[in-house]
Amino acid sequence: MRSASFSKSPNVRGVIAPHAGYSYSGRAAAYAFGNIDPSNITRVFLLGPSHHYYTPNCALSTATVYKTPIRDLLVDLEVIEQLKATQKFELMDIRVDEAEHSMEMHLPYLAKVFEGHQIKIVPILVGTLSSENQAMYGQILSKYVDDPKNFFCVSSDFCHWGYRFEYMFYDSEYGPIYKFIEALDKLGMDIIETGDPDIFKQYLSKYKNTICGCHPISVYLHMLRNCSTKIKIKFLRYEQSSQCKSAMDSSVSYASAVATIDGSSSI
For 160-213, the pLDDT digits (tens) are 999 999 999 999 999 999 999 999 999 999 999 999 999 999 999 999 999 999
Kind of pairing between the strands at 43-49 and 120-126: parallel
Instruction: Give, to the nearest 10 degrees, the angle between helix 131-145 and helix 214-226.
Output: 50
What pLDDT score does 264 carry? 63
CA 187, 188, 192, 198 torsion: positive or negative? positive
Burial 81-98 (b: 16+ CB within 10 A, else e): eebeeeeebbebeeebbe
Residues 59-80 pLDDT 10s: 999 999 999 999 999 999 999 9
Mean pLDDT of 119-140: 98
Phi, psi (degrees; rounded to nearest 5) at 156 = -165, 135
Residue 175 region by backbone torsions, left for phi larger than 0, else alpha for psi between -120 and 50, else beta: left
CA 120 vs CA 60, 85, 217, 218, 265: distances in Å: 14, 19, 22, 24, 28
What pLDDT score does 7 carry? 73
CB 151 within 8 A of CB 83: no
Which are the contacts of 57, defined by CB distance < 8 A and separation ≥ 6?
88, 89, 90, 127, 129, 133
Residues 224-241 pLDDT 10s: 999 999 999 999 999 999
DSSP character string of 216-229: HHHHHHHHHHHSSS
CB 45 within 8 A of CB 124: yes
Using CA atoms, how far apart are residues 194 and 190, in angstroms rounded to an integer?
7
Using CA atoms, how far apart are residues 241 and 49, in angstroms rounded to an integer?
20
Using CA atoms, how far apart are residues 196 and 245, in angstroms rounded to an integer?
33
Mean pLDDT of the chain: 95
Which are the contacts of 232, defined by CB distance < 8 A and separation ≥ 6?
193, 195, 259, 260, 261, 262
Using CA atoms, how far apart are residues 249 and 264, in angstroms rounded to an integer?
42
DSSP-assigned letter for residue 117: S
State how far Cα 226 lies from the chain centre.
18
pLDDT at residue 5 greater than cutoff 70: no
The residue among 266, 261, 256, 262 whose CA lies nearest residue 15 is 256
